[in-house]
């Protein structure tokens, strides 16, 4: 029976403990994390909504707490030198793919009016290649080895501080409402884009009904992929670059405004589709 840890600080603490125990066998690691979750749940009941500082004052840093659990369970400290090098390479590949995929995807949309499928698949392959290399480098290991890197922890702290600066209700709404809306919007945008890449000779008046099925499928796929990434963080290697590509495309459309649809783009497609 799993224990729910429902405060941001407690969840972040547990994730860091899990990252520090990432080298352990999955079953033993899950058992230890179950104990951590129970302890954090008890503290949450006792203290209300404890901050990260309060938790570290009571329990020590997540890494120290993980070391105590490791020693109590009879496991040795992990060898870190080779794994740190592998983790840095995997993280570098993930960052490169996150930067590369959005840029080349949007550039392709702007420059390739013909939308040939082969070129589109090549763009995806090039953009996701570094992420694929990163996953190969991990060789099936948990993403926790990457999460132990100082640069990763710095990024986590930056995100947490930014979230803490938001009003409590806004942060909660963004997490509980904004995230699911983004998952659905991301899937819908991918579905629309994929439709016009795969089917390029349809009159516009016949397009809207045909969009329903592919958009519904990509929305469901987007939600599933996000839920999957919450269980296995390695999926972030693929999910984050896709987020970047979709977000950059959405920003470009919003910046263009109505001219995106009524300017040269519209004139080109009106002649092509016979609107």
Domain ranges of the chain: 8-73, 81-273
User: For residue 215, what pLDDT band results from cuts at 50, 70 and 90?
Assistant: confident
Q: Apex CA 179: angle with CA 163 and CA 246, to 5°?
A: 105
| Residue 269 confidence (pLDDT) above 60 | no
Q: Are 133 and 100 in contact (CB under 8 A)?
A: no
3-state helix, strand, coil in the chain (%, to 5): 80, 0, 20
Query: Average pLDDT of 104-132?
Result: 76
Rounded to a whole number, what is the distance in angstroms from the first to the last CA of the chain?
59
Given the structure tokens 């016009």, which residue do they identify?
Answer: 196
Residue 266: both structure tokens together: 């519209």
Q: Which residue has the higher pLDDT, 71 or 271?
A: 71
pLDDT of residue 260: 46
Q: Which residue has the tokens 């013909």?
A: 114
Instruction: Report how far Cα 201 is from the mean position of its chain's Cα atoms.
Output: 34
* Count of C-beta atoms within a 10 Å radius of residue 47: 15
Band the pLDDT of 220: cuts 50, 70, 90: very high
pLDDT band at residue 151 under the 50/70/90 scheme: confident
Q: What is the pLDDT of residue 125?
A: 85
For residues 250 and 208, which has the higher predicted lDDT (pLDDT)?
250
Q: What is the pLDDT of residue 270?
A: 42
Cβ atoms of residues 21 and 29 within 8 Å: yes
Tens digits of residue pLDDT in 168-196: 777 777 777 888 888 998 888 888 877 77
More confident residue, 23 or 14: 14
Distance CA 44, CA 239 (A): 31
In this predicted structure, what is the pLDDT of residue 114?
57
Tokens standing for residue 214 = 């592919």
In contact, 17 and 30? CB cutoff 8 Å: no
Residue 273 confidence (pLDDT) above 60: no
* pLDDT at 12 (0 to 100): 83
Residues in the chain: 275
Higher-confidence residue of 270 and 88: namely 88
Check whether 105 has a pLDDT greater than 80. no
Mean pLDDT, the chain, as a whole number? 75
Structure tokens at 223: 């939600």
Entry pTM = 0.54
Residue-wise pLDDT for 65-93, tens only, equals: 888 888 777 776 655 556 678 888 888 88
* Gap between the Cα atoms of 198 and 76, Å rounded: 53
Phi, psi at residue 137, to the nearest 5°?
-60, -35
Dist. CA 87–CA 242, nearest whole Å = 21
């Amino acid at each position: 029976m799993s224990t729910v840890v429902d405060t941001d600080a407690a969840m972040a603490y547990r994730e860091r403990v899990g990252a520090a125990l990432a080298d352990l066998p999955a079953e033993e690691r899950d058992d230890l994390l179950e104990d951590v979750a129970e302890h954090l749940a008890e503290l949450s009941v006792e203290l209300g909504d404890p901050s990260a500082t309060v938790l570290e004052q009571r329990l020590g840093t997540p890494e120290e707490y993980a070391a105590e659990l490791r020693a109590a369970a009879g496991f040795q400290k992990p060898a870190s030198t080779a794994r740190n090098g592998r983790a840095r390479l995997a993280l570098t590949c993930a960052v490169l793919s996150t930067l590369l995929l959005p840029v080349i995807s949007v550039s392709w949309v702007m420059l390739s009016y013909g939308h040939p499928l082969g070129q589109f698949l090549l763009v995806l392959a090039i953009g996701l290649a570094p992420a694929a290399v990163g996953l190969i480098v991990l060789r099936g290991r948990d993403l926790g080895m990457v999460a132990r890197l100082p640069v990763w922890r710095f990024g986590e702290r930056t995100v947490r501080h930014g979230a803490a600066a938001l009003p409590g209700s806004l942060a909660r709404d963004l997490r509980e409402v904004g995230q699911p809306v983004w998952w659905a919007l991301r899937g819908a945008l991918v579905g629309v884009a994929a439709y016009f890449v795969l089917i390029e000779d349809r009159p516009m008046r016949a397009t809207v009904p045909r969009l329903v099925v592919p958009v519904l499928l990509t929305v469901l796929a987007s939600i599933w992929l996000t839920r999957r990434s919450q269980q296995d963080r390695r999926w972030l290697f693929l999910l984050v670059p896709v987020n970047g590509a979709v977000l950059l495309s959405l920003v470009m459309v919003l910046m263009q405004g109505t001219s995106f649809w009524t300017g040269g783009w519209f004139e080109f497609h009106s002649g092509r589709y016979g609107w």
